[in-house]
Structure 1
Amino acid sequence: MISIRARIVNRLLPLTGTKTFFSNPSEVQGKIEKLRQKGPDLPSKRFRRKFAVLEEQVDGYQLFTIAPGAGARKGDHHVLYLHGGGYVMDMSWAHWNFVGRLVDATGASVTVPIYPLAPEQKCEKLIPQMQHLFGQLAEKHGAANMTVMGDSAGGGLSLALAHALRDSGSLQPSRLILLSPWLDVTAMHPDQPEIEKRDPMISIPGLRKFGELYAGPLDVKDPRVSPLFGSHDRLPPMQIFTGSADVLLPDSQRFQTALERVGGNCEYHEYSKMFHVWMLIPIPEGKRVMRQIADFILQPI
């Protein structure tokens, strides 16, 4: 049974205008220009008082490291968090809220890159940038102590990063966590139009447009752009979270099936009637997911 708070959030989400943005590809460029003028949401003063926040400029973008107020200890777990937003939208307050709750729940430190966005930045350059960043973090924290996690587009980028690390023979993170991951930017699955009617956040036309902007010269089915179409052997243990009212549900379902075929180690969680990236919100279902994430990160592998 979906919680009362989740029902309320589900009704309020259309008021944010996100689904309208996704529904009108012809207005995307103007909206993106306004988003660039605004810039990303950054950690609030209250957030900075509670946590240890380090801000750097790395490879042309902002990089934040968030640690418990007492500071991170050597050997503690570390998370690389890649935010969602269709590869065109920046970090939001909901992401920072989630990162703060993640630090509280696990005691881990978290690196959050404000990575360059499409259409200015394309897939071909972004994945090597994140691969380089992971290498630096793994050298500092130890790959065995690291989790890569992402929501929506950040989930797709997380899987593409894991593919790139594996294919290059680099060390992989010990865990991979995908929240409502966007793994196929074509949005051509036959089940998606019906699910779209129930999804209060995103629409298929916007997904396709954003995917084209991110792909640039690459085919939208290139595994770097749509990692669902890649090979999924030799990946780290992972968690996948999705909901039955999320238009990206078929991506997670197909990925789980593909992992089963190659004997992948995966915890798959599909919540009934839950919408896109509901895991970021501290409703009862979101709090339950945070407990599941903390258990997964902190358990020995």
Structure 2
Amino acid sequence: MESQNYLTIAIEKMGHVMLDDRHMKASDIYKTAVKLHKKEDYNPPSYNEDKFKVRSVFEKGGLCFYVMPKDGRATEFFMYIHGGGFVSRITHNEWKFVFDTVERTGYGAVVPIYPLAPEHSVTEALDMLTGAYDKLCDSEDVQRLVLLGHSSGGCLALSLAIQLWKKGRRRPDKLILCSPVLDTEFEDTELEQKMSDKSRFMYRYYYTPGIKHFLSAYWVKDAAGRTDMTSPVYYDITDICDEMDIFTTNDDMLNCYARRLYDNASRTNMKVHYYQYYAVTHDYLEHPLIPECKTIMKKIAGCIKGDSDFVPADIENDIWCRAMMAERYPKLYEDNEAIKLTDKLGIEHKKRNARYTFYDRTVMMERLVAVDERVRNFINRYADGIIVNVGCELDTMFSRVDNGRIKWYNVDLPERIDIRRKYMEIRDREVNIGSSIFDYEWLDEVQKPQNVAILFVVYDMMRYFDKDKLKLFLDAIWKKCPGAEVVFDAKNSVAKHRWNRSVFMGKNKGTMLRVSIDNCTSLMYDWNIKYKILCDEPILREADLERMFSHSEARRFRHAIKKKYDKVIHLRLGTEHFLDNM
């Protein structure tokens, strides 16, 4: 996550989250929750009175707030069911998300203040939410209605959609679930074990036996065994709505449930979109000051409207870097497609130049040249080979290196492949695969004939890896395609430390890195003695730098080149299947 936002999260979370002690028993959580309810203020902030019209509507068992555009009229609505672990009220920052979303979409918002544990149960909460939903449909001219739930609110949103379908009520036009809790009875012990992974406990979000016992005693109560109310991920969701969007993060302990829901929904006729983000905290809707979280909020607003024009900031940054390199140093790097994309997307160079230090900006540009060179090296050796661009985004590498014979695969998350299809035409011999790069089933979609060389290009993707994930990634490729080659870029431990410090201090806009490689030979030998290193060279090269800058500026990089702060690594995984003259 970018800049000094780790400190921002710490400040925003102080004194808010429902649980402070991972050793709490159910009775301790009960006492803490009751105290919180006496202090919490669920009313919307008053500073937005000039921009929006807000009114309250009493509903059996709770209260609803209607947030309307300034003119007070709307025919399109979204109902936001807040998170909070079934015990906490809506927060100030969640209200900000609601107001910002109303402003971005022009929709009206309905925010129910539903009954919470331990005083109330899931049955009472769903009764109140069903009543609020019906009242909205009856009292307003509703032409489009989106049901949106975050965290524990995601569980209630899915359960509410199921209840509406069972009772024959109007179905929501769309269901959006953000890092949802989907099983309060923890029926699947395998998923419960995954959720208990302590490496995913972050920013005071975690799972303990005390939480399980608390939910069973004070939230589930008499609804035990009613999966449609308590564990909707296991219920039949075939006809509850026509379209569903699922948002999650890779480090979220609830990611396994989001993935299970996506798999279930994909087997129906429902249109499903799965958005997985990396290095972002679970409660991203509660951090409006953090750029990565703000990006997700903008995407959610686009999903509410059904607008697919939104392009994530990291994709824009990659396009900007390629366009800048092509415009400034055309003798080193050509990319006319990237220049056209910057114009089409309205990307401004001036704003983005200031986001990185001079050194890191230079590394980003030189990395393009270094990786392209390794890919061309492979094509020169295997003119009819296969190249897989892992994490392709809107990369134009195929057009830059195509020899007219190679076959090309692009792999990225489904929503990013959708963006790619929107802005880039599919060329001959090119295939797009929509999948998370860590769901290795996508390897089965790569059609590799026997005795055909294959290269996997992992460009600027180390921000998504740690050493364990990198080892598993290489191992998966080795098992599926023995003899395959892999090209990726990495930093050594010194460069990683400097980068993370710059990100933390706000000097660079990027993600904290969790992996570095100092001695590539030793590391690969430890991982698999069959891995062969074809190249382990610094990304920065004096000859290129002399062409880019003055002699005195180029000299500033000599130490970084000597110590190989940033490097490109080219591996062959497994037995050598092809004749090779390096």
Match of 1:191 in 2: 194
CA deviation profile, 1:109-140 (whole Å, cap 9, x unmatched): 11111111112221222212211221121223
User: SS at 2:72's partner residue?
Assistant: coil
Match of 2:553 in 1: none
Alignment length, in residue pairs? 298
Call closer, same or farther: CA 1:17–1:161 in 2, change over 3 Å. Answer: closer
CA deviation profile, 1:175-206 (whole Å, cap 9, x unmatched): 11111111012454222222554422322125
Call closer, same or farther: CA 1:9–1:196 in 2, change over 3 Å. Answer: farther
Match of 1:260 in 2: 266
Q: Distance in 1 between matches of 2:42 and 2:300?
A: 24
8 Å contact kept, 1:185–1:225: yes
Further displaced range: 33-42 or 94-103: 33-42
- 2:302 corresponds to 1:295: yes
* Partner of residue 272 from structure 1, selected from 275, 278, 282: 278
8 Å contact kept, 1:143–1:172: no
Match of 1:245 in 2: 251
Q: Distance in 2 between matches of 1:267 and 1:220?
A: 29
> Which amino acid is 1:251 matched to?
Y
Match of 2:123 in 1: 124
8 Å contact kept, 1:72–1:108: no
Call closer, same or farther: CA 1:23–1:91 in 2, change over 3 Å. Answer: farther
Runs of 4+ in 1 over 6 A off after TM superposition: none
Q: Distance in 2 between matches of 1:242 and 1:62?
A: 29
Bigger radius of gyration: 2
Call closer, same or farther: CA 1:14–1:289 in 2, change over 3 Å. Answer: closer
8 Å contact kept, 1:123–1:224: yes
Q: Distance in 2 between matches of 1:23 and 1:29?
A: 13
8 Å contact kept, 2:184–2:215: yes
Q: Distance in 1 between matches of 2:182 and 2:89?
A: 19
Call closer, same or farther: CA 1:128–1:33 in 2, change over 3 Å. Answer: closer
* Partner of residue 211 from structure 1, selected from 212, 215, 218: 215
Match of 2:157 in 1: 158
C-alpha deviation, 1:143, in angstroms: 5.4
Written as runs of structure 1 = structure 2, the 5 A alignment for 1:136-175 is 136-141=135-140, 144-175=143-174
Q: Distance in 2 between matches of 1:131 and 1:70?
A: 27
Written as runs of structure 1 = structure 2, the 5 A alignment for 1:53-202 is 53-73=54-74, 75=75, 77-141=76-140, 144-187=143-186, 188=189, 189=191, 190-194=193-197, 197-202=200-205
Call closer, same or farther: CA 1:17–1:134 in 2, change over 3 Å. Answer: closer
Written as runs of structure 1 = structure 2, the 5 A alignment for 1:2-41 is 2-10=1-9, 12=11, 15-16=14-15, 18=17, 19-21=19-21, 23-25=23-25, 26-41=27-42
TM normalised by structure 2 equals 0.48
Call closer, same or farther: CA 1:41–1:129 in 2, change over 3 Å. Answer: closer
RMSD: 2.4
Q: Distance in 1 between matches of 2:236 and 2:287?
A: 32
8 Å contact kept, 2:61–2:128: no
> Which amino acid is 1:290 matched to?
M
C-alpha deviation, 1:235, in angstroms: 2.7
List runs of 5+ in structure 1 lacking aligned partners.
none
> Which amino acid is 2:206 matched to?
S
Call closer, same or farther: CA 1:110–1:14 in 2, change over 3 Å. Answer: closer
Call closer, same or farther: CA 1:6–1:15 in 2, change over 3 Å. Answer: same
Further displaced range: 160-169 or 280-289: 280-289
Q: Distance in 1 between matches of 2:29 and 2:120?
A: 16
Call closer, same or farther: CA 1:173–1:151 in 2, change over 3 Å. Answer: same
Further displaced range: 159-168 or 236-245: 236-245
> Which amino acid is 1:30 matched to?
K
Q: Distance in 1 between matches of 2:5 and 2:166?
A: 40
8 Å contact kept, 2:53–2:69: yes
TM normalised by structure 1 equals 0.89
> Which amino acid is 1:53 matched to?
V
C-alpha deviation, 1:216, in angstroms: 1.0
CA deviation profile, 1:263-295 (whole Å, cap 9, x unmatched): 321111111122212133222222222222222
> Which amino acid is 1:136 matched to?
K
CA deviation profile, 1:52-84 (whole Å, cap 9, x unmatched): 1102322142221111223223x2x11111111
Q: Distance in 2 between matches of 1:96 and 1:22?
A: 28
